[in-house]
Structure 1
Amino acid sequence: MNVSDFDFYLPEELIAQHPLEKRDSSRMMVLDKETGEIEHKHFKDIVEYLKEGDTLVLNNTRVMPARLIGSKENTGGKIEFLLLKRLEGDKWECLAKPGKTARVGRRFTFGDGQLKCEVIEVLDTGNRIIEFEYDGIFEEVLDSLGEMPLPPYIHERLEDSERYQTVYSKEKGSAAAPTAGLHFTEDLLEKIKNKGVNVVYLTLHVGLGTFRPVSAKTIDEHIMHSEYYELSKETADVINETKKLGNRVIAVGTTSTRTLETIGYENGMVREESGWTDIFIYPGYKFKVVNNLITNFHLPESTLIMLVSTLAGKEHVLNAYNEAVKEKYRFFSFGDSMFIK
C-alpha cells in the first residue's frame, strides 16, 4: 500500500493556529465507521453519543517546556535544543538547531549559566545526546528556562501555555500534547461521568515523531518512532470489565489507541504494564481493544490518518476529510474533532 493513497487536498489556511476561546466549542464531525454517514455537531454534543457502561480512555501525559534556547560557551553562538526523551541520569536525546553547531564535545549554556550541557553523541538520525549540569532539581530549572514546544506548523505565539495541555494532564514527559483531549473541560467530563460512563487514564509520552512526515513511498518501509507508556491495574480492570459486559471502549486520541492496542490481548483484555511502543497501525490491522475513537483532523499522508483509516475504512475517512475541507473544519493540534462511532 502506498503512502500516497492517504493524500488529500488541504489548504494551509485550515491548519488551526490558535485554540478557540472555549475548549468544547470546537466543531465535531461524527463519522459512522460502518456506513460512512456524516453528522456535523459541536464537541460538547459528545455526551449524546456516549452510553452508560462505556469506558472513555484518556492520556494524562503533560507536555514539558522542552524547548531550550541558549548559547555556545565562550563564543555566544545561538543554539536551540528540543528535548525528546530522558535516557539515564541527566542525559537526553534531543533535536538541535542549527545542527552543525551541536558537535560532539561542544558545550552550551542557558539562562545566565543556570543550566549547562555538553553534546556527547550524534545519532544516525541526526538527533543529539546531551548531558546537563545544574544545581537543584532539573524539572524546576526546566520550568524556569524552557518554552512550550509547539508543532512546526503553528506559527502564532501561544499566549496561555495551559491551552496546549489537557485539563487532566498530570504525568510530565511529553514533547507534544495528546491533542484529541484538548476539547474536554472539567464540566464536560463531569457530565460524561454522570451519564454512567467510566472515565479512566493511561499515560503515553508523545514524541515529536508523531509530526514527522512519512518519507517512505510504501507503508511497510516506514519506521515508527518509539514512545513510553504506562497503564495501571485500576485502568486495566475497568477496561476488562467493560469488555466482559459487551460495552464499548472509546479511546481519546491516537496515543491512547496505540497504547491500548500495544497492551491488548487478542480477546480484547488488557493488563497493567509499562514500556516502549513503536506500534504502527495501518489498514489490514485488526483492532483488539478499541471500539470507537475521538480524534482530531490529521495531515495528509501521516501515520495518524492511516490509523484512523484502519478503524473507519480508508474510503469513509478520505470522503469525510474532503467534506471537512469543503466545510472549512480546522485541522490538527488546535483544530476541530471527529468522533468515529
Structure 2
Amino acid sequence: MFSFVAIFGSVELGIIYAIMALGVYLSFRVLDFPDLTVDGSFVTGAAVAATMITMGYSPWLSTILAIAAGFIAGCATGLLHTKGKINALLSGILMMIALYSINLRIMGLTSDTSVGRPNIPLLNSETLFTKFGALWEKTGIDEGLNGFFSRMHADTLPSTWGIVFFMLVVVLLIKFAADWFLKTEVGLALRATGDNQKMIRSFSANTDTLIILGLGISNGLVALSGALVAQYAKFADIGMGIGMIIIGLASVIIGEAIFGTKSIFRTTFAVIGGAIIYRIVVSLALRVQFLDTGDMKLITAFIVILALIMPKLIEKQKEKKRKAKRHAERVSALNVSAEREVQ
C-alpha cells in the first residue's frame, strides 16, 4: 500500500532534485546545449560540501563553495566548446570524465593519504538540514503535525516538516530568481543564443561568453542540488551522479507535458512540478512486486520514453479529430449548397 509517508518522502526528494532540474532546463532548453557535465558536477557539489563539512567548516560556507565549484566546471565545458571548438556533446562528456577523478581527489582531502576517496559519511556532522531541523523543532509545529498524521495513518513521517518548508523556500527563491534573470538583458540574450546564434551575433552579442555563463549557472545549480542531497542523505558518493542528466531531462519533459510552456514563469514551475511527479512515479513503480531498486535506471528510461512519446500521440489524435471536424464541416456546407441549388 502506498502510504502518506512514501508520498511525503517522494515530495521531499523531488523538491531537492528540482534545483538540479532547473539547471538542466537552462542548458537543454534555454541554451539548447546537450550538457553531460551534469553527471559530474552533481557529484562535485556533493564532494565539496561533504569534504568541507567533515573538515569542520560551516554548512553554509560549504554549500556556497560547492555552487562555485559547479559554476567553474560548467564554465570549463563552455570554454572547451567555444574556445577549443570541440563539439558540444563531446565537451560535456570530456568534462564529466575529468570530474570523476577530480571528485575522487576532492573527497580524498579528508584522508591521510593522497589517494582519492570514493565516499564520505556525514552521519555525525552538522548540516543545513540538522541546523534548520533543530530550529524548526523549537517552534513545536513539527510535533503537532507529526502527531496529527500519526493518528490519521498510524505511522510517523519519514522526516521533519521543517526540511520540506526549508527546501520549498529555497527552490521558490531560485525559481523566481531564474524568472527574473531570464527577463533581463543578459537573460534575453541567453535565450536568443539558444534560439538562433547567427541572429544574436548580428546584434554584436558575444555568444561565446553567453554560452560559458549559461553553462556555469546551470552547473552551479546542479552542484547546489548535489550538495543538498549529500547533506540530506548524510553521505557523498562518487557514483551518486550516474544517470543524473536523464533524471533532470525526465523532470523537464514530464513537467512541460503536464503544465505547459506558455511563459517562463509557467515553465520553471512546470520543471519543479515535473521533478516532484517523477519522484512519486518512481516510488510507485518500485512498489511493484517484480521491480526492485536495481531497476531504477530502467524505470527512469521508461518514464522518459513515455513522456516523449505520449504528447506526440495525444497531439496526433487531436489533429485527426480536427481534420475529421473540418471534413464534416465541408461536407455539411456542400450539402447545404446543393440543397439551395435544387430549390
Give the alignment's TM-score, normalised by structure 2. 0.25
Task: Give 1 or 2: higher strand fraction.
Answer: 1
Higher relative contact order (CA 8 A, sep 6+): 2
Q: TM-score, normalised by structure 1?
A: 0.25
Q: State which structure, 1 or 2, has the greater radius of gyration over its C-alpha atoms.
A: 2
